[in-house]
Amino acid sequence: MERSRLFGLFVLSLALAGAQALTPAHYLSLPDVARLQNLLSQQFTGLDSAYYSVVGLSKLGATIPDHEGVCQFLKSQLDPMSIDSLFFAAETSQAISGCEIPVSNETRDILLAAVSEDSTMTQIHRAVSALSSLGLPLASQEVVGALTGRINKEDNVMAITLALQTAARLSQQTELGGILEEIEDLTARLDDLGGIYLQFEEGLEATALFVTAAYSLSDHVDMEPPLKEDQVIQLVNSIFSKKSWDSLAEAFSVASAAAALSNNRFHVPVIVSALGPATVSHSQPTLQLLVTDVMSQPLALANVLVESAYSVASKSVILSHASFTLNDGVFELNFMSSRPASGYYQFAVAVTGDTRLVGNHVELKVKVSTEVVVNNMDLSVVDKDQSIGTKTTRVDYPSKGKSSFTADSHQNFAMAFQLVDVNTGVELTPHQTFVKLHNQKTGQEVVFVAEPDSKNLYKFELDIGERKSEFNSISGTYSLHLIVGDATLENPILWNVADVVLKFVDEEAPVAIQPKTLYVPKPEIQHLFREPEKKPPTVVSNTFTALILSPLLLLLILWLKLGANISNFSFTPSTILFHVGHAAMLGLMYVYWTHLNMFQTLKYLAIIGSVTFLAGNRMLAQIAVKRIEKK
């Protein structure tokens, strides 16, 4: 049931792409409503969950069990000093019958004190709602002043939505023009997603609560909210597209929005969907539609009529201004009485009867299906040079030809038939008309397409000689099947018409056709990993290391012979610092090789280098001075 309704919705949304008027793509179907009620029927964990559950269920029109128990729970959990506690208890008590929350003077004072510009918007909303539900007097003008002041300070979506909701609880004489303007401001803040969804970036809960508050206030002051039809439908799409809700508060907001949209004075979105697949045929001639509000409740006053219905293929109009009859909650129309040919039809359906209806022009695609029968099936074997007269055999559906036909490469095998609609006698051209030849011994199948001529008579000719490659030149007995199928046919046909013996010249040895070996394990790939390079033996490396170091020895010997010495070494601080720094730099090189990366090395080098440079500069200057003095 749900799948067929989803299919109806899918067809609807396909039509949506082409339609100019927007129609709702998402709504709460009966299973969705049941799921929502289930979520709201959970055990109470506190006053807030009791509020969401009880008030949410009452908005969905569900019965709340055990009013006494709920009332007891409220009274036991109530904290008379807390505004939130009073709000939840008061609102919930209004939803069930015969529950009075005791009120003291202190309670009243606390609630009245909360109505000021210095409290948060949530506090003002809860205090005003509690005062209103408990039947306590409140100064509406003061509330308006507090709200206006608060809106300036808290300029976010949730706060302004709460302000709207609060204003709806005030007396009718109050001047609410300023607050009413906020609806338009908030509407401007909604994000349009692809022309289909309209929602706040704050999320689903904010959007749903806004819709509830906007309609609540609009009903209260009896002024139409500044929402265009398309915007209302986009809001419906956004709010009801989510089918499982994360929290009780979210579920409550969706339930409130659903109630607001089904029952307000200005805009009621209409959901039109086909009951079952949108198909009619001779066995089922009526098209059945369900027309409901967003909560899948049938609309009380509604007239459904087809403005026009035209064939998709020929664009000719079949129906114009025909109305549906209401039969046990379902709107029915006998479409077959208009004698439509099989195929697809585009219906433009309009729902009237209530000026509040929104999204009430819907496009629906309806399929008319029929049954087919094969007439005048004539089989013959024709000689190519037409010297021998043709012998035509008539085979009647669904029986098989008594004798088998024999044909060889000099001949053509011919088939002619008609496909006719059982009910109307009209010739049909279905999408699939195939002729299949199946070799009984080897299992090979060859399929051809049969084409209709201008008079819708199907003809098929098989030139044996020309087509021998398709058959792999394998002679033998082939069973001939006719396959007919189409989306609009209720009885697809697979008919074994006759057996045909084909004789090919230069025949190969019959080879049994192997099924394609796609899914057997493939041969394993041997991957050759890159072999590490051969290293020379350690002896060789060690020998050469020693060899390389030997010139150093030679250098030292040569220097000694030349008389190089460090007798001029002066123990000045700059000299020592220079040599230490230089040694450190060389040490850093070694550490760089073993541990560090370039960045760290450069950092250390900069430090040591600058020290060494300064010291070296000093030292070399001193040496230069000494050298010039010596001269």
Partner 1 sequence: MSNSVISVISRFLEEYTTTTPNKLKVVDSYLFYILLTGALQFLYCLLVGTFPFNSFLSGFISCVGAFILGVCLRIQINPQNKGDFLSISPERAFADFLFAHTVLHLVVMNFIG
Report the residue from 598, 599, 630, 631 that binds partner 1 according to the rule CB under 8 A.
598
Report the residue from 524, 531, 533, 629 that binds partner 1 according to the rule CB under 8 A.
533
Q: 312 — phi, psi (to 5°)?
A: -70, -35
Count of residues that interact with partner 1, criterion CB under 8 A: 35
Q: Does 604 bind partner 1 (CB under 8 A)?
A: no
Q: Does 551 bind partner 1 (CB under 8 A)?
A: yes
Residues 274-305 as b/e (b if ≥16 CB within 10 A, e otherwise) read bbeebebbeeeebbbbbbbbbbbbebeebebb
**From residue 162 to residue 191, what is the string marking binding to partner 1 with x (rule CB under 8 A)?**
------------------------------
Q: Does 449 bind partner 1 (CB under 8 A)?
A: no
Residue 324 identity: F
Q: Are 163 and 150 within 8 A, CB to CB?
A: yes
* Distance between start and end Cα atoms, the chain: 115
With respect to partner 1, which residue has the nearer C-beta, 266 or 604?
604
With respect to partner 1, which residue has the nearer C-beta, 424 or 622?
622
Q: Does 583 bind partner 1 (CB under 8 A)?
A: no
Q: Taking contact as CB under 8 A, which single stretch among the options 182-190, 260-268, 358-366, 608-616 is the one that binds partner 1? A: 608-616
Q: Which of 419, 494, 486 is nearest to 453 (CA)?
A: 419
Q: Which two tokens stand for residue 601?
A: 């090395």
Q: Which two tokens stand for residue 283?
A: 């066995």
Report the residue from 511, 513, 589, 607 that binds partner 1 according to the rule CB under 8 A.
589
Report the residue from 312, 313, 558, 607 that binds partner 1 according to the rule CB under 8 A.
558
The torsion region of residue 145 among left (phi > 0), alpha (psi -120 to 50) and beta comes to alpha
Residue 133 identity: S
Q: Taking contact as CB under 8 A, which single stretch among the options 96-104, 441-449, 467-475, 582-590 is the one that binds partner 1? A: 582-590
Give kind and range of the element (H or E) at residue 476: strand 476-485
Report the residue from 105, 328, 563, 567 that binds partner 1 according to the rule CB under 8 A.
563
Q: How far is the CB of 612 from partner 1 (least distance, A)?
A: 8
Q: Does 624 bind partner 1 (CB under 8 A)?
A: yes
Q: Does 1 bind partner 1 (CB under 8 A)?
A: no
CA atoms of 8 and 276, how far apart (whole Å): 7
Report the residue from 14, 193, 511, 621 that binds partner 1 according to the rule CB under 8 A.
621
With respect to partner 1, which residue has the nearer C-beta, 265 or 582?
582
With respect to partner 1, which residue has the nearer C-beta, 43 or 565?
565
Q: Does 564 bind partner 1 (CB under 8 A)?
A: yes
Q: Are 232 and 267 within 8 A, CB to CB?
A: yes
Give the residues across from 483 on adjacent strands.
434, 494
Q: Does 620 bind partner 1 (CB under 8 A)?
A: yes
Q: Does 315 bind partner 1 (CB under 8 A)?
A: no
Task: Read off the DSSP letter of residue 450.
Answer: -
Q: Taking contact as CB under 8 A, which single stretch among the options 100-108, 117-125, 387-395, 555-563 is the one that binds partner 1? A: 555-563
Helix 30-40 / helix 47-59 crossing angle, nearest 10 deg: 150
Sign for the CA dihedral angle at 49, 54, 60, 65 comes to positive
Distances (CA, A) of 332 to 285, 286, 363: 10, 6, 16
Q: Checking DSSP bridges between strand 445-449 and strand 493-503, what pairing results, if any? A: unpaired
Q: How far is the CB of 589 from partner 1 (least distance, A)?
A: 5
Q: Does 609 bind partner 1 (CB under 8 A)?
A: yes
Q: How far is the CB of 586 from partner 1 (least distance, A)?
A: 8
Q: Taking contact as CB under 8 A, which single stretch among the options 196-204, 264-272, 375-383, 535-543 is the one that binds partner 1? A: 535-543
With respect to partner 1, which residue has the nearer C-beta, 515 or 536?
536
Q: How far is the CB of 513 from partner 1 (least distance, A)?
A: 57
Report the residue from 592, 604, 611, 614 that binds partner 1 according to the rule CB under 8 A.
592
Report the residue from 512, 518, 552, 566 that binds partner 1 according to the rule CB under 8 A.
552
Number of separate helices (H) and strands (E) present in the chain = 16, 23
Q: Taking contact as CB under 8 A, which single stretch among the options 88-96, 454-462, 507-515, 592-600 is the one that binds partner 1? A: 592-600
Report the residue from 17, 520, 548, 566 that binds partner 1 according to the rule CB under 8 A.
548
Q: How far is the CB of 540 from partner 1 (least distance, A)?
A: 6
Q: Which two tokens stand for residue 299?
A: 């609309």
With respect to partner 1, which residue has the nearer C-beta, 8 or 616?
616
Q: Taking contact as CB under 8 A, which single stretch among the options 62-70, 456-464, 474-482, 527-535 is the one that binds partner 1? A: 527-535
With respect to partner 1, which residue has the nearer C-beta, 501 or 560?
560
Q: Does 569 bind partner 1 (CB under 8 A)?
A: no
CA atoms of 208 and 229, how far apart (whole Å): 17
* Three-state DSSP class for residue 413: strand
CA atoms of 48 and 58, how far apart (whole Å): 15
Give kind and range of the element (H or E) at residue 425: none
Report the residue from 188, 525, 539, 562 that binds partner 1 according to the rule CB under 8 A.
562
Q: HSE on the CB side for 363, CA within 13 Å?
A: 16
Q: Which two tokens stand for residue 520?
A: 């057997």
Report the residue from 491, 544, 572, 600 that binds partner 1 according to the rule CB under 8 A.
544
Q: Taking contact as CB under 8 A, which single stretch among the options 39-47, 350-358, 373-381, 589-597 is the one that binds partner 1? A: 589-597
Judging by beta carbons within 10 Å of its beta carbon (0-12, 13-18, 19+), is residue 145 exposed, middle or buried? middle
Q: How far is the CB of 529 from partner 1 (least distance, A)?
A: 18
Q: How far is the CB of 587 from partner 1 (least distance, A)?
A: 12
Residue 400 identity: K
Q: How far is the CB of 551 from partner 1 (least distance, A)?
A: 4
Q: Checking DSSP bridges between strand 357-358 and strand 268-269, what pairing results, if any? A: parallel
DSSP string, 319-380: EEEEE-EEETTEEEEE-GGG-PPSEEEEEEEEEES-TTEES-EEEEEEEE-B-EEEEEEEEE
Report the residue from 158, 308, 601, 611 that binds partner 1 according to the rule CB under 8 A.
601
Report the Cα 262 to chain-centroid distance in Å.
26
Q: Which residues, 6+ apart, have CB-to-CB distance to 519 below 8 Å? A: none
Site residues, partner 1 (CB under 8 A): 533-536, 540, 544, 547-548, 551-552, 554-555, 558-559, 562-564, 582, 585-586, 589, 592-593, 598, 601, 605, 609, 613, 616-617, 620-621, 623-624, 627
